Structure formats: structure tokens, C-alpha cells
Amino acid sequence: MSFALPSPLLAAGAGLVGGTMNALAGGGTFVTMPTLTGIGLASTIANATSNVALQPGAIASAWAYRGGLEPLGGIRIRTLVAISFVGGTVGSLLLVNTPTHAFDVIVPWLLLLATLAIAFGRRASGWLRARVTIGRRTLLAVQVLLGIYGGYFGGGVSLMMTATWGLLAGAEPHRMAAPRTLVLATANFAATIVFIACGMVRWTLCLPMLVGAVAGGYCGALVGRRLPPAVVRDWTLLVTAVTTAIFFHRAYGG
């Protein structure tokens, strides 16, 4: 006799884990999206549903960090927010118009990019920053690309942004939390509007996942005060690497 959890419970559980990961270091998409595809959603629909489910937690985090907002690399926060909103809109529209079979082939490479950012991003940005000076215009251009990536897929974008801002703006990690959280919430909010308007959200799974993600975000904040940063990073890297391997196998394993 076999036993399987109902899909809404699986979605809620994935939201709990994903929300916890987002509160700790990011990467919650690597749990929520594979769960939804495992339940049976097409990958584009799973990505859109996951984005919407995780959005309330992102907004709550942005509000909590509001006191730490300050210009980054000489660029006002309003400018970064506006750029990220436009980029998120463009990226989400690209996803809406990407056939599922094409997205299935693309997404493993996006996951690999995120995995590399987690594994080597901070070290690479430190190495480059010691050797390269890059101006304000480059930061603005790269922010557009990060906004598009965030709207299209978003997995690992928080870690990519940390590495990029460290390189291009010379920002210290503790000063990035507030602007990064707001900018990411803005890009995700733009994508949420598009995904809902285009009917890409499966609400029967999105709502329980959303509830789980909110609870996970709260639990993650409590756990994060006690766990060493290295443990959090290693766990995130492990989940990301395993997810990447699974999606490569699905896309190219025959």
C-alpha cells in the first residue's frame, strides 16, 4: 500500500523550507519550483507560481530592512528600484512568451549559473575588485540585466546581486542587505503582476505554499540568529547543486 501526501500539503511544506532558506541566505526557489514541477506543473507555470508564493515574504523583509536604505555606488535607491521594476517586467514577459520545452532546456543553465554564484561569487568579486575599477554606468546596465533575470527566473539572484554590487560598487555585505532586499522585492512584484494578469498562477498550490513561506520566513529569522554563516551557505549550496543536477538530468538525460 502506497501513501502520498496531497499536493497542497507538499506545496505548503516546500513553501516552509523555501521561506526559511530565503530568510537565511536566499535560494528558496530551488525548493519551491522543483516541488511544483514534481507535482506535475509545467516548468514555466511552476516558476510563476513559486514567484508569487514567495512574494509576501520578500515584501515583509523589505519593510523590515527599510531603515538601512542608502545610495549604492552613488546611485539613488529610487533609481535602482525603478530599473529593477522595468527589468522584472521585461523578464516576466519573456517567461510568459517562452514555450515550456524551451524553458526546460534553458533552466538547468540558469541553475548552474546560480550555483556558481553561490560557490564562487564572493571570492570572484573580491579578486576582481582588487584589480578592476568599474563606473556608475556599468552598474546601472548590469542592474537592468539582474532585474530581467529576476523576473524571468530569479533563482540565486540575491547572491548574484551581492557579488555584483560588491564588485561594481565596492559595497560591504552588511550594507547591501536593505537595498538588495528592496530591489529584489520590486523585481519580483513586477513579475507577480504579469504572472497573475496572464493567468500563469495555480492558486490551489500557490496559496498553501504562500502560507508555508510566510511561516518559514519567520522561523528562518529565528534559526538564522543561531546558525553559523558557513553552515547556512553550505546547505544552500548543497540544495542548489542537487537541484541543478536533477534539472540537467531531466533536460538532457534522455
**DSSP sequence for 75-121:** B-HHHHHHHHHHHHHHHHHHHHTS-HHHHHHHHHHHHHHHHHHHHHH
The whole-angstrom separation of Cα 190 and Cα 180 is: 16
pLDDT along the chain (254 residues), means of 10: 68 90 76 91 93 84 73 80 93 93 89 78 65 70 88 79 70 67 86 94 95 84 70 77 84 76
The whole-angstrom separation of Cα 136 and Cα 128 is: 16
- Give the residue among 233, 251, 5 at the shortest CA–CA distance from 104: 251
DSSP state of 217: H
Query: What's the pLDDT at 254?
Result: 62
Query: What's the pLDDT at 90?
Result: 96
Return the domain boundaries, the chain: 44-248
Beta bridge partners of 75: 72
Q: Which amino acid is at 131?
A: R
Per-residue pLDDT tens over the stretch 69-115: 777 767 788 888 899 999 999 999 999 999 988 988 998 888 888 78
Query: What's the pLDDT at 4?
Result: 53
Return the SS3 of 175: helix
Query: What's the pLDDT at 231?
Result: 76
- Give Cα 49 to chain centroid, integer Å: 13
- Using alpha carbons only, what angle is made at residue 168 by residues 162 and 174, rounded to the nearest 5 degrees? 40
Phi-psi region of 74 (alpha: psi -120 to 50; beta: other; left: phi over 0): left
Average pLDDT, the chain: 81
Q: Which amino acid is at 198?
A: C
The residues near 10 (Cβ < 8 Å, ≥ 6 apart) are 35, 38, 39
- Give the residue among 248, 234, 15 at the shortest CA–CA distance from 118: 234
Return the SS3 of 65: coil
